[in-house]
Structure 1
Amino acid sequence: MNAPTTPATVFTVSGGSAHVHDLIGIGLGPFNLGLAALADPISELDCLFLEGRDRFDWHPGMMLDDATLQVPFMADLVTMADPTSRFSFLNFLKQNGRIYPFYIRESFLPHRREYNQYCQWVAERLDSVRFGQQVTSVEHDGETYVVTTATGERHLTRRLVLGTGTSPRVPECAATAVAGDGPAIHSAEYLARKDELVDRRSITVVGSGQSAAEVYLDLLTDQPDHDYQLAWLTRSPRFFSMEYTKLTLELTSPEYSAYFQALPADKRDRLLKSQQSLYKGISGDTIDAIHEALYTRSVGQGGGGVAGTTLLTNTEVRGVTGTEDGYHLALRHVEQEEDYEMDTEALVLATGYRAGIPAFLEPVRDRLRLDENGRYAASSTFSVDHTDREIWVQNGEEHTHGFVAPDLGMGAYRSSVILAAILGREPYPVEKRVAFQEFGVPDRFKIQPGKIQPSELQTEENR
Structure 2
Amino acid sequence: MSRVLPGDATPVHDLIGIGFGPSNVAMAIALSEHNAGADRQESITAHFFEQQPSFGWHRGMLLDDATMQVSFLKDLVTLRNPTSEFSFLCYLKSKGRLIDFINHKNLFPLRVEFHDYFEWAAAQVEDMVSYGHEVVGVAPVIRDEAVEYLEVTVRSGEGLVVHRARNLVIGTGLRPRMPDGVDRGDRVWHNSELLTRVDELEAVTSPSPTRFVVVGAGQSAAENVAYLHRRFPEAEVCAVFSRYGYSPADDSSFANRIFDPEAVDEYFAAPEHVKRQLIDYHGNTNYSVVDMDLIDDLYRRMYQEKVLGTERLRFLNVSRLSDLKETPDRVRATVTSLVNGEETLLDADLVVFATGYLPADPLGLLGEVADRCLRDDEGRVRAERDYRIATDPELRCGIYLQGGTEHIHGITSSLLSNTAIRVGEILDSLLDRGLKSASDEARTVADGTGSAAR
Structure 2-normalised TM-score? 0.82
Matched-pair contact (CA < 8 Å) for 1:50–1:135: yes
* Contact in 2 for aligned 1:39/1:45 (Cα 8 Å): yes
The alignment status of 1:162 with 2:170, answered yes or no, reads: yes
Structure 2 residue identity aligned to 1:279? N
The separation in 1 between residues aligned to 2:94 and 2:84, in whole angstroms, is 13
* Uncovered stretches (5+) of structure 2, i.e. residues with no partner: 36-42, 143-147, 203-207, 434-454
Match of 1:394 in 2: 402
Tell me which amino acid in the other structure corresponds to 2:254.
L
1:28 corresponds to which residue? 20
Secondary structure in structure 2 of the residue aligned to 1:392: strand
The 1:150–1:14 alpha-carbon spacing in structure 2 relative to 1, beyond 3 Å, is: farther
Aligned twin of 1:300: 308
> Which residue identity does 1:136 align to in structure 2?
V
Question: Which runs of 5 or more residues in structure 1 are unaligned?
Answer: 1-11, 426-463
Secondary structure class of the residue paired with 2:238: strand
Deviation at 1:361, TM superposition (A): 1.9
- Quick one: distance in 2 between partners of 1:174 and 1:266? 33
Decide whether the 8 Å contact of 2:187 with 2:326 is kept in 1.
no
Structure 1 residues 236 and 255, CA gap change in structure 2 (3 angstroms): farther
Q: Distance in 2 between matches of 1:214 and 1:160?
A: 36
Query: Within the alignment, does 1:135 sit opposite 2:135 as a pair?
Result: yes
Aligned equivalents of 1:77, 1:193: Cα separation in 2: 29
Tell me the equivalent position of 1:290. 298
Alignment of 1:5-84 (within 5 A): 17-43=9-35, 44-84=43-83
CA distance in 1, matches of 2:400, 2:101: 35
Confirm or deny: 8 A CA contact 1:330 1:339 kept in the other structure: no
Separation (CA, whole Å) in 2 of partners of 1:197 and 1:132: 28
DSSP 3-state at the match of 1:375: coil
Q: 1:13 to 1:102 in 2, by over 3 A?
A: farther
Q: Is 120-129 or 378-387 further displaced after alignment?
A: 378-387
- Taking the aligned partners of 2:385 and 2:319, their CA distance within structure 1 comes to 38
**Structure 2 Cα separation of the partners of residues 29 and 158 of structure 1:** 21
When residues 64 and 369 of structure 1 are mapped into structure 2, their CA distance, relative to the original with a 3 A threshold, is same
Q: Percent identity?
A: 32
Q: Distance in 2 between matches of 1:77 and 1:38?
A: 9
Matches within 5 A, 1:22-421: 22-43=14-35, 44-126=43-125, 127-142=127-142, 143-151=148-156, 152-175=160-183, 178=184, 180=185, 182-197=186-201, 199-224=208-233, 227-263=234-270, 265=272, 268=275, 272=279, 275-280=282-287, 281-301=289-309, 307-322=311-326, 326-334=330-338, 336=339, 338=341, 340-345=343-348, 346-357=350-361, 359-386=364-391, 390-421=398-429
How far apart, in 2, do the equivalents of 1:298 and 1:319 lie?
29
Distance 1:92 1:272 in 2: 34
Query: By how many angstroms is 1:284 displaced?
Result: 1.8
1:323 Cα deviation from its structure 2 partner? 5.2
Which deviates more from structure 2 when the two are superposed, residues 272-281 or residues 239-248?
Answer: 272-281
Partners of 2:347 and 2:382 lie apart in 1 by 41
Distance across 2 between alignment mates of 1:72 and 1:155 = 38
Letter in 2 for 1:139: A
CA distance in 1, matches of 2:337, 2:305: 27
**Residue identity in the other structure for 1:25:** G
CA distance in 1, matches of 2:150, 2:87: 32
More deviation, 314-323/62-71: 314-323
Query: CA–CA distance in 2 between the matches of 1:218 and 1:325?
Result: 22
Distance 1:145-1:83 versus aligned 2 partners, 3 A rule: same
- The alpha-carbon distance between structure 1 residues 267 and 333, as it changes in their structure 2 partners (threshold 3 A), is farther
Q: Indicate the larger mover: 367-376 or 30-39.
A: 367-376
Alignment-derived partner of residue 459 in structure 1: none
After superposition, the C-alpha distances for 1:5-30 in whole angstroms (9 at most, x for unaligned) are: xxxxxxx9799752211111111111
Amino acid in structure 2 at the alignment position of 1:382: Y
CA distance in 1 between partners of 2:89 and 2:388 (Å): 31
Closer, same or farther in 2 for the Cα pair 1:370/1:255, shift >3 Å?
A: same
> Which letter does structure 2 place at the counterpart of 1:375?
R
- Matched residue SS, 2:231: helix
Q: Is the 8 A contact 1:135 1:149 kept in 2?
A: yes
2:267 & 2:5 partners in 1: Cα distance? 43
Contact 1:357/1:375 (CA < 8 Å) preserved in 2? no
Q: Is the CA contact (8 Å cut-off) linking 1:161 and 1:391 kept in structure 2? A: yes
Against the structure 1 CA distance between its residues 265 and 317, is the aligned structure 2 distance closer, same or farther, given a 3 Å change threshold?
Answer: farther
How far apart in 2 are the matches of 1:196 and 1:52? 24
The alignment yields a C-alpha RMSD, in angstroms, of: 2.6
1:337–1:256 Cα change, 3 Å: farther
Q: Counterpart of 1:232 in structure 2: which amino acid?
A: A
TM-score, length basis structure 1: 0.81
> Once the 2 structures are TM-superposed, how far is the Cα of residue 267 of structure 1 from its aligned partner?
6.3
Counterpart amino acid of residue 141 in structure 1: V
Amino acid across the alignment from 1:397: T
